[in-house]
Structure 1
Amino acid sequence: MQYAGEKFYPEDVRWDEPIEVGLVPALLEESARKFGDRAAIEFRDRQISYRELNAKVAQAAAAYLRDGLARDTTIGLFLGNTPDHPINFFGALKAGARIVHLSPLDGEITLKHKLTDSGARLVVTSNLSSIFPRALEFLEAGIIDRIIVCEDEAWGEAKNKLASYDKRPAIVTYAEFIAEAQLPVIWPAVELDDVALLQYTGGTTGLPKGAMLTHRNLTAAVSIREVWTRSFRAKRNVAERVICALPLFHIYALTLILMKRLRYGDLISLHQRFDLEEIMRDIEVKRATVFPGVPTMWIAIISLPDLDRRDLSSLAYCGSGGAPLPVEVAAIFERKTGLRLRSGWGMTETASPGTTHPSNGPDRPGSIGLMLPGIEIDIVAHDDPHRVLSIGEVGELRIRGPNVTRGYWNRDEGRSEWFIGDRFLTGDIGYMDADGWFYLVDRKKDLIISGGFNVYPQLIEQAIYTHPDVKEVLVIGIPDEYRGEAAKAYITLRPDAARFSIDDLRAFLTGKIGKHELPAALEFIDELPRTNVGKLSRQALRDQLSSRSA
């Protein structure tokens, strides 16, 4: 295949280059051999070397094996951004298990579904008061059997509020769990196509689906980016200081920050959350050189009143992902700082990589970029995914590559909805121009991407339906200056019910769904639109609103 966009690639990169794959734990093992005492992670001003990190991973893996972990067991990671995440992520995979990420942002419905659908009976979590009580609820409800508690204070003093709990056989601290674990003579055999990660993603027709990402998929995602950045890294020839303020349970941070940067031998400056002044301190004082973020972070930075007086000169690369980057945000950032903000497109199902913009090459505002080496994207007709469209025609993006998921966990019966052979139907609508640049124009699904997080309208609707005054509800995405998109609820009330405010609704929903899922706007409507068979229709609602504003 000839790809027109290859002429815009870095000079030493070809589209059809072979992509190296391997086992996820081997990635860290190799880096530990190569980089030894070089710092791998910095957290609360404490640095962990590559050698130390690899030893901690081996210790975790040995503890899982001693605990009787069977190959193909699913382990839930319910952790924020601390070194406990990579230690247990790599450690569980080294022991032959698979991981399911549990987001602290998820509501109860989603967390319960991820646990029951994945089959995870063991959860590794933190003693933070914002996380531990939720894990405890699942233990007491019999949804899981055991909890391993990583103690946040083990990494140094922090401002986080800690939970207290009573010791019992089903709850063990991480320090107790790894105590006296002996490294095995031979580690369990793990195969390239073993599922390493169940990363849940979703749509609007039900609960999120677990994308099965294998060792091959995850390491291919890293290698694809490694090929793309080869000349850039060779010219710099330094160990980068990389800011990680994105949650490690998100695929973007997992593969394109944690795994990729450990592969390169860089230092990951790990932040538990996006604190703007802490990030600026990392840049101005600690001289961070790479900052991958999401649009909301860049909007916060360009909104700094004194940005023109801040020193961002250490930054060699700024990237944006997780959600569409508004063209004006990139333009303002470049105008105010002189730095180029690069973006791309990818999905949970592609382990993140899909398209990107050249770091120092040409740019096409509004485009999602060029397809990366080893990845093949074409555009197919909405009504016939077997029919490939011509240049400039709008249709659905279809993708294949070594990084693309092999399917969804427990969803074999629906494979034909998402795959044509080995090509994945993304649900994103767009086109490719004559030079090989891709553009998105819409999304096929009703999924809302808010601040880089997937928000599922049906889950919000289900929670709103528990309100005693609500008769019917539809939730759709609306433009949001800060988050890119936000959820808006359109509600029909029961007879004689009184209207309530958006603040009242958010208070009612708190705890039922995640904070990022709380609606940003509310409108009461006499009658919600329906399809010709009587079903409530989000698309008809959007059409109705569009004609109203025309």
Structure 2
Amino acid sequence: MTSRDTVTDPLPSGRGAALPDGGGVPASPPIPPRLLTDLIDSAVRDHGERRAIDFLGRRWTYAEIGALVDRAAAGLQAMGVGPDVRFGLCLPNTPYFVILYFAALRCGATIVNFNPLYVEHELRHQIRDSGTTVMAVIDVASIHAKVAAVAEESGLEKIIVCPLADILPTFTSLLYRLFKRSEIARWPADARHMAFGDLTRANPASFKPVAVTPDDVAVLQYTGGTTGVPKGAMLTHANLTANSHQMTLHVGHGAEANDRIMGVLPMFHVFALTTVLNFSVDTAAEMILLPRFELKQFLKTVKRTRPTKLLAVPTMLTALNKAAASQDVHFDDLDFVVSGGAPLPFDVRQEFERVTGARVVEGYGLSETSPILTCNPITGVVKDNSAGPPFPGTTLEIRSLDDPHRIMPQGERGEVCARGPQVMKGYWNKPEETEKVFVDGAIRTGDVGYLDEDGYLFLVDRIKDVIICGGYNVYPRVIEEALYEHPAILEAVVIGVKDDYRGQAPKAFVVLRPGQSASTAEIAEFLKTRLSKIELPREIEIRQSLPKTLIGKLSKKELVAEEAKKAAG
């Protein structure tokens, strides 16, 4: 695969960039292919004195982060990390994530992002499927225990333990060690474990440069795609740096802005990986990192740091609107908010803009596109209920739902398909799935929408069976399979229902086996060990029977209609 000199160069696997009639806004400026490590190298070289990270009040400059990246890279290389190694990050938003991300990439490794909230079977599957052999994990006992439990059987050879207390401000660290002692992991002194501090004792001069190209896979970003079966989207250095560059073009400024970017969305999710980590380093901005969204801590941090940019999901903005009704929210320096992950209700956007005076724009994308495809403009027309026009260098096509090789006229509905330098190389070790997700070289999103006369995208439906819950994809099939493991359950169906806070939430309907009994509380407790918190049904309803199609298949549409009627009235 050759490097892309401009956004109109050939795409991977012959996915040409010819722009057929009916496509969206064509490419504008050239987007040069780069390595992700170029971003940190440039920031350290040109803005080393600038603050790079604020983590709960402790701060690092770009020069300090760059030195830690160099030492960690030398340590990883001495450990055997190099090309063809998949390096797992099972970390919340911390300086460790930033340092080890760039260090492993410098070694030529491929990053595999893991959600620390994964349960053991999810960790096991992703480690095995990706071939991850080295994993970095925070020293929170509950998280480390899960990784350690699956390490041997899944082929995980090394675990790098990252102590939270070591990156906290001095007094906070003391209190944490004193009062949270039971929550700190204890790990064995064996060949599999290594502390981050030991890793970074390596001499950076010992590092031997590795040949890496922009077309090499940088990140395996796992996604359920259209089926709910986790697949690793192969995102190259060129894909991810292109999306960061596209964001710079969309925003209209770079390093001269001296931005302070609020990083509370998890960087193991590709939206924050691009908009918080890659974009911040690309523009030498300060990352204000929080390990999770906890309202009181978030508002306290906002007051102390005065961010200029906020990357959010609708549930965050809903919570902030509610807080603003009773207290000051201190968003005086905020220029704008980009909301992604789920549809943004108009009233939520309107209220946040009224309270803060900052503009809120909605974007759209998917893991397979690094992730941003469209976004409403920072200055200019924001159209209500629209996902905005294509990102610079991105072409949208609306293709017929009956014949995907036919492009629909402007204004007519069809499947949203896209081309651009941010589009993935394919799915890891799944050539057939890769073939299915592309049509005539354009990636199929699984969403139904249309383009208006100005090229703005409006989404109207979803082809995929997926629930967007607080910005995360939750797949009914995964929950249904967990329900079927319960010995008392005969049939199970899961749908998405309206949720004022999360947008949507899963609701389960079950039928019990004859002669068996189980309460909803018992079923909910049973699911806690099999599903992550975000996947747990908000409600479980036990019924005598469930609707079926004429051929006897369980049918969801009647349940969806029932719940919609309840919500309406």
Q: Partner of 2:44 in structure 1?
A: 32
Compute the TM-score of the two structures, normalised by the length of structure 2.
0.90
Contact 2:510 2:542 in 1 (8 A): yes
Q: Which amino acid aligns with 1:42?
A: D
Q: Indicate the percent of aligned positions where both proteins have the same amino acid.
A: 38
Measured against aligned partners, the alpha-carbon deviations of 1:391-448 in whole angstroms (never above 9, x if no partner) come to: 1211110001000112111110233320013210000111111121111111110111
Structure 2 SS opposite 1:63: helix
- Output the CA distance in 1 between the equivalents of 2:202 and 2:329: 49
Per the alignment, do residues 181 and 511 of structure 1 end up closer, same or farther by CA in structure 2, a change over 3 Å counting?
Answer: farther
Match of 1:350, as an amino acid? T
Q: Secondary structure at the match of 2:52?
A: strand
Whether the 8 Å contact between 2:23 and 2:398 is mirrored in structure 1 is: no
Query: Are residue 167 (structure 1) and residue 183 (structure 2) matched?
Result: no
Query: What secondary structure sits across from 1:323 in the alignment?
Result: coil
Pair 1:252 & 2:271 matched: yes
Residues 82 and 355 (structure 1), Cα distance of their counterparts in 2 relative to 1, 3 Å cut: same
Residue of structure 1 in register with 2:3 after alignment: none
Aligned to 2:369: 350
1:121 match: secondary structure: strand
C-alpha displacement of 1:321: 1.1
Q: Partner of 1:374 in structure 2?
A: 393
Q: Note if contact 2:24-2:451 (Cα within 8 Å) is conserved in structure 1.
A: no
> Aligned to 1:49, which of 48, 52, 61?
61
CA shift for structure 1 position 474: 1.2
Q: Please state if 1:199 is matched with 2:221.
A: yes
- What is aligned with 2:541? 523
Match of 2:88 in 1: 76
Structure 2 residue 274 is matched with structure 1 residue 228:
no
- The letter for the 2-side match of 1:384 is D
Deviations 1:153-175 (A, max 9, x none): 11023546312222211112122
TM-score of the superposed pair, with normalisation by structure 1:
0.93
Alignment partners' CA distance in 2, 1:339 and 1:178:
41
Equivalent-residue separation in structure 2 for 1:361 and 1:183 (angstroms): 49
Deviations along 1:166-202, one digit per CA (max 9) or x if unpaired, are 2211112122233334434641100111111100000
Change in CA separation of 1:183 and 1:323 when aligned onto 2, cut-off 3 Å: farther
Matched position secondary structure for 1:268: strand
Shift of 1:300: 0.4
One-letter amino acid of the structure 1 residue matched with residue 530 of structure 2:
K
- Secondary structure of 2:99's counterpart equals helix
Superimposed CA distance per residue, residues 491-513 of structure 1 (whole angstroms, 9 cap, x where no aligned partner)? 11111233512x43322211211
Counterpart of 1:391 in structure 2 is 410
- Shift, 1:203, TM fit: 4.3
SS of 2:405's equivalent?
coil
Q: Which amino acid aligns with 1:524?
A: I
From 456, 461, 464, the counterpart of 1:442: 461
Alpha-carbon RMSD: 2.3
SS in 1 for 2:323: coil
Q: Find out whether 1:239 has 2:261 as its counterpart.
A: no
Aligned to 1:464: 483
1:95: how far off?
0.1
The one-letter amino acid paired with 1:222 is S
- Rounded to whole Å, the distance in 2 between the matches of 1:296 and 1:254 is 19
- Give yes or no for the alignment of 1:148 onto 2:160: yes
- The one-letter code matched in structure 2 to 1:346 is G
> Which residue matches 1:124?
136
Corresponding letter in the other structure for 2:241 = T
The whole-number CA distance in structure 2 between the counterparts of 1:425 and 1:5 is 14
Cα distance change, pair 53–79 in 1 and its aligned pair in 2 (3 A): same
Asked if residue 480 in structure 1 is aligned to residue 499 in structure 2, the reply is yes
Deviation at 1:141, TM superposition (A): 3.4
Cα separation, 2, equivalents of 1:85 and 1:549: 41
Aligned equivalents of 1:134, 1:308: Cα separation in 2: 39
- Secondary structure of residue in 2 paired with 1:51: helix
- What are the Cα deviations for residues 301-350 of structure 1, in whole angstroms up to 9, with x where unaligned? 11115457443212112221111111110112123333321111111111
Secondary structure in structure 1 of the residue aligned to 2:142: coil
Q: Deviations over 1:270-291 (max 9, x none)?
A: 1111122222223333222211
Q: Residues 278 and 169 from structure 1, CA distance in 2 versus in 1: closer, same or farther, beyond 3 angstroms?
A: same
Structure 1: gaps spanning 5 or more residues: 7-13
Q: AA paired with 1:446?
A: D
The more displaced of 141-150 and 384-393 is 141-150
Q: Which moved more, 1:390-399 or 1:155-164?
A: 155-164
Does the alignment pair 1:88 with 2:100?
Answer: yes
SS at match of 2:508: strand
